[in-house]
Amino acid sequence: MASLSIARQGSPVKAIESDALVVRTIAYGEADVIATLLTATYGKLGALLRGGRRSKRRASGALEPFHTVHASLDDRGGDLLTLREARIVRVRSGMTGSLAVLEAGGLALRWLRHLTPPRHPEPAAWATTLTLLDVLDGCPAEPRAALAVAALRLLSDVGYGLELTRCVACGKPCPDGRPACVDASRGGLVCQACGGARFLLSSCTRRLAMEAQRGGDVTFAREQTEQVLAMVDGAMSAHGEFRA
């Protein structure tokens, strides 16, 4: 485990509150819990809940993933804040009815944990994730299709949007209606003159992906969904040190 800076009790305390999503929890010591929170106001925060494995009084059920919680924290300037209280403000119990939905939601939370920097608000990524979780809470027939749309938007939200209109190396535009070679680790399309790429994106999928990045109402077919998610996985690995 990497070393963590926990400020001394005598340090000045700043009390903060925010709605949040719990993107990870790990046991710490004999009784404590460390929660990674994506907050609406302050970005990604690490928080220590003292005695959290013994008593659920201050966060009963609120450290479960997928629900929106309201967190009250003390910030003493260290890597970890102290979580004083967390209460659920938006329950998404419908997600538990489908393993595919749970897997899609879990993958989205892992993306957030790896892509978002500490203590840097990401309001667009926050909004995109809430929208996705609300969709998944309705147990859609194709949860991975909803995930693919959200994935493209999340990359754009945090500044890693894929360039799907022109070559990232030379800037040459890719004509409409044409398939394109994509190297997600390089950020988007790579024309043949610049070496191309092994991943070929169909013209229809490319058009829908661009619309999804712009926030349009897009529905991917199953084959397109898997194409997009494979492309996104490459981008996530390059930018967020992410491994599924």
pLDDT band for position 57 (cuts 50, 70, 90): low
Residues whose CB falls within 8 Å of the CB of residue 201, separated by 6 or more in sequence, listed in order: 164, 179, 180, 181, 182, 209, 227, 231
Cβ–Cβ under 8 Å, residues 112 and 239: no
Sign of torsion over alpha carbons 192, 194, 198, 204: negative
> Is the model's pLDDT at 5 over the cut of 60?
no
d(CA 66, CA 130): 9
**What is the pLDDT, as a whole number, of residue 60?**
60
d(CA 126, CA 109): 11
d(CA 179, CA 64): 42
Tens digits of residue pLDDT in 131-160: 999 999 999 999 999 999 999 999 999 999
CATH class of domain segment(s) 14-90: mainly beta
d(CA 152, CA 214): 9
C-alpha pair distances (Å), 174 with each of 45, 166, 171, 189, 215: 40, 5, 9, 8, 21
User: What would the two tokens of residue 241 be?
Assistant: 């040190």
Cβ–Cβ under 8 Å, residues 73 and 82: yes
Tens digits of residue pLDDT in 121-134: 999 999 999 999 99
Question: Selecting from 3.30.70.260, 1.20.1440.120, 3.65.10.10, 1.10.10.10, what CATH number does the domain 93-240 have?
Answer: 1.20.1440.120
Share above pLDDT 90 across residues of the chain, in percent, rounded to a whole number: 75
Tens digits of residue pLDDT in 180-213: 999 999 999 999 999 999 899 999 999 999 999 9
Tens digits of residue pLDDT in 9-32: 556 899 999 999 999 999 888 878
84: how many CB neighbours lie within 10 A of its CB? 16
> Is the model's pLDDT at 167 over the cut of 60?
yes
Cβ–Cβ under 8 Å, residues 170 and 196: no
C-alpha pair distances (Å), 146 with each of 70, 130, 171, 217: 26, 12, 30, 10
Share above pLDDT 70 across residues of the chain, in percent, rounded to a whole number: 89
> Is the model's pLDDT at 170 over the cut of 90?
yes
**Burial class (CB within 10 angstroms; exposed 0-12, middle 13-18, buried 19+) of 90:** middle
End-to-end C-alpha distance for the chain, whole angstroms: 20
207: how many CB neighbours lie within 10 A of its CB? 15
Domain locations along the chain? 14-90, 93-240
> Do 93-240 and 14-90 have the same topology in CATH?
no
d(CA 97, CA 137): 9
